[in-house]
Structure 1
C-alpha cells in the first residue's frame, strides 16, 4: 500500500506518520515526551515507515522489554533503525523502571555509518549468543544501522543494533553488509527505428531497452526513492528498503517527456529530472528525433507526478575551447551565481530545488563550494559507484545502464548480493 493511501486509511496513526516524515528532514521533536518502559505481553507485529511505505517490518517476542514513546493514541513508538517503529498499546504493559534500568541510553548508541541488509527473516537476540533469548525478528528487505561488530564466545561474528533504545544482536552470517544505493543515470530515449544520429552514444537508450529495464525493477520489487530520501539515508535519519534505487535523467530532453515519462508511469516508478534551466522552452517543439530538443514549461509541469525537478545548472552546461566542461574554468563566485540562477528559474516547478548534477560530471573544489553556498544539499557526478552513508554529499557516484546491457548485467550491477551469489532475474 502506498503512503498516500495510508495517510487516508490509517487514521489512528497521525502522530506516527507525522513523526516518521519529519524524521526524514531531521525534525523529529520528542524531547518533551517522556519515554515509557514496557513489557510485551504477546508476540506482536511491528510497523515502520521504510522508503515510501509504512509496512510490517518484523515482530517482537512476548515477555521482552522495550523503551517506547507515547506519541499516538493507539500505538507506542520506539527507536527502529534510523527512525521509529510502531507497536499497538494493547500489546504491551507499562512498567515502573526508569530509562537507566536499560543500561544503555540512546545518546550512547553511535552508528558506524554502516548498515546490515536482511535477505530473509532474521532473528534478533538479547545477547551475542545463539542460545540467548530471542528478542524478535526483522523481516527481509530492510537496511538497518549497525552500532558495532563483536565476536561471540565461539568466535562467530555478530552485529550490534539498536531497537527501542537498547542494544540487541544479529548473527553476521544471517545478513549482508550494505554495499550502497545505486543511482542510475539516463539522458536521451529514442525508438530504434528513428535513431539515426545517436545510436552509438552511451547517453542514448532505446525505448525497448528502457522499458525492459524498468519492467525488471518493478518485477524484482525495487522501490524507486527520491533524492530527499537518499539524503535521509546518507544522514542516517530515514529507513529505506534493501531493494532501493534512484533514477536520474540529466539535461531535460524532450524525449524524456515523450518516452521515459509514460514508461515510468506505467510501472509506478519515480525519478529525478536534472534540468538545464536556460534551455527550457516556452512552448513545446514539434518532435524531431534527429536533434536534441528540450522540454517546455508545460511539458515539465506534465511530468511532475513522476519526476522531481532539480538543477543541471543554468548556462554552464557546455564545453570550453579546450574541450573540457566550462564549469572547470570558472571561479567559485561565477559558478555560485549560475547555480543560484538555476535554482530561481526552477522554483516555478519545485520550491525545493536542493540537488544539482554537475554538467558532464565535471567538478572541482570551486564547484563543490559554490554548490554549498548556493544552498544545495547534494550533488551528483558521473563517477561510477553506489552511494553509501558517510559519502561526501557533493560528490555522489552514479551508475550507467546502457541499451546494450542485458537485464542480467543490470541485475548484477545494482544488486547488493555478494559476488558469489547471482541475483534472481524474473523471466521476461
Structure 2
C-alpha cells in the first residue's frame, strides 16, 4: 500500500505541485475519524515524506480524492492519509467539539522538531495523545500558552483540528540561514585576495558543505524561501539557502563540483552586464566573470537571479552608486537585468542589492520591477513575515571554524 501511495503522490507532484496542493480537487470535505493509528504524508520542500502519525479515534476534516487516500490540511500545505484508516464521524456535536476555529490567525511563528514529537489533544502531557510529528519538520504555531506547572505549549492545527505540542519536545523556529559567498580560490593560488573577507578557500568551502551534508541539511531555492517568508510552504527544519554574488568564474570552477557532488542547490546573483561572450583563460590573480557557456554548464545546480545590470559600482566616495540614482534609473536597470538573464532563467524574481546597499527608492523600484524578494548583507536569518525586500544573510569566512559555522547555522537565536 505504501509503495502504491507514494507512486500516486509522485505522479501528482510531478506537475505544478503548488497548484495541486493548495487547491485539492475532489468531493466536498467530510469529517472522518481514524479507526486505527495511521501514518500521514505531506510534501516538505521538494519531497513527499512521512510526516508523522495520527492515533486512532481522532477527528479530521478531509477531502476525498479518486485515489486511495484522503487529503487534509497539514501546515501550509496538504497532508495525505490512507482511506482504509478512516470512517465517517457519527454525531454533529462531536464533530464541532473536535475541530478548531478555522479563522484563528497564525502567530507567524513555527516550531521545529528535532525528534519524533508527541502531539496531544490538550495542553497537558496527561491528556489523550493526538499523534506524532516526525523529526526535522517546521510546523506553524497558532498560539503559545501556559499549561499546568506554568509549562509552555504550542497550539497547532492538523486537518483543521487543534492540537498541542510541549515546548519541552520542540523548539521555536529562529529562522533559515542564507549563506553568502563570492569568490573561491585554492590556498596556493590565492596571492591577491587572501585578506579579502569575500574570498573563501576551496578547502574551507568543501569542509563547510561537508558539514551541511553530514548533518542532513537541505539546500533551498529562493522560490522555497519565498514560500517560507510568506507562510505558504512546508519546509524541513534543517534547511539552508546557499547564495553567490557577482557571477565570478571561480564559482563554476570550484564551487560547482562540490555542490554537485553533494546534490546541493544554490543561487547565483549575476551582474548581467559582466557576462562574457566566451570563457576567459583562468587567472586567479584577477576577478573574472562567467561566460554564457559557463553559466549554462552549471544550470543543473545553480538558479540564476539578479545582482543588477550596470549598478554594481561605487562612486568616488566608495559608496554604492545605487544609493544616489533616481527611481527611474534604478527601475530601468532592474528591468534590464531581468531581461538579460531571461536567456538562462525565465523566472528572474529575486534580487541581491550591490554591496548590500539599499534605500527606500531601491526597495520601491525592486517591487515595481517585478522582484518578489531582495537580499541584503545585513547579518541575520530569514524569518516568516520579514520584509521580503530586506532579507538578511550570513557570512561564513575562510578563517571561521566549523564550530563557528554550527553556531551561526543551527537553530539558535542570533544576537
Relative to the length of structure 1, the TM-score reads 0.92
CA distance in 2, matches of 1:46, 1:104: 18
Q: Secondary structure at the match of 1:13?
A: helix
Query: Residue 90 of structure 1: which of 84, 93, 96 is its match?
Result: 84
Query: Residue 57 of structure 1: which of 44, 51, 56 is its match?
Result: 51
Query: Residue 9 of structure 2: which of 7, 13, 37 is its match?
Result: 13
Matched, 1:342 2:333: no
Match of 1:3 in 2: none
Match of 1:159 in 2: 154
Match of 1:142 in 2: 137
Shift of 1:97: 5.5
Name the CA shift for 1:367/1:71 in 2 (closer, same or farther; >3 Å): farther
Match of 2:313 in 1: 318
Match of 1:255 in 2: 250
Matched, 1:276 2:256: no
Structure 2 segments unaligned to the other structure (5+ residues): none
Match of 1:235 in 2: 230
Q: Secondary structure at the match of 2:345?
A: coil
CA distance in 1, matches of 2:4, 2:91: 37
Cα deviation, 1:292-311, whole Å, max 9, x if unaligned, reads 00000011011010000100
After the TM superposition, which segments of 4 or more aligned residues of structure 1 sit over 6 Å from their partners? 6-9
CA distance in 2, matches of 1:65, 1:116: 23
Name the CA shift for 1:15/1:64 in 2 (closer, same or farther; >3 Å): farther
Cα deviation, 1:145-189, whole Å, max 9, x if unaligned, reads 100111114321111001001211111121110000000000000
Query: Residue 378 of structure 2: which of 383, 394, 406 is its match?
Result: 383
Q: Secondary structure at the match of 2:362?
A: helix
Shift of 1:15: 7.4
1:9-408 to 2 correspondence within 5 Å? 10-13=6-9, 17=13, 21-22=17-18, 28-30=22-24, 33-95=27-89, 101-102=96-97, 104=99, 107-408=102-403
Name the CA shift for 1:410/1:188 in 2 (closer, same or farther; >3 Å): same
CA distance in 2, matches of 1:171, 1:10: 31
Query: Is the Cα contact below 8 Å between 2:206 and 2:258 reproduced in 1?
Result: yes
Shift of 1:102: 4.8
CA distance in 2, matches of 1:328, 1:415: 34
Cα deviation, 1:356-380, whole Å, max 9, x if unaligned, reads 0000000000000000000000000
Shift of 1:10: 3.6
Query: Is the Cα contact below 8 Å between 1:248 and 1:272 reproduced in 2?
Result: yes
Match of 1:422 in 2: none
CA distance in 2, matches of 1:417, 1:202: 24
Cα deviation, 1:221-273, whole Å, max 9, x if unaligned, reads 00001110000011111011110000000000000000000010011110000
Q: Secondary structure at the match of 2:240?
A: strand
Query: Is the Cα contact below 8 Å between 2:26 and 2:64 reproduced in 1?
Result: no
Structure 1 segments unaligned to the other structure (5+ residues): 1-5, 420-428
Shift of 1:11: 3.3
Q: Secondary structure at the match of 2:351?
A: strand
Shift of 1:103: 6.1
Name the CA shift for 1:279/1:106 in 2 (closer, same or farther; >3 Å): farther
Relative to the length of structure 2, the TM-score reads 0.94
Name the CA shift for 1:384/1:413 in 2 (closer, same or farther; >3 Å): same
Q: Secondary structure at the match of 1:11?
A: helix
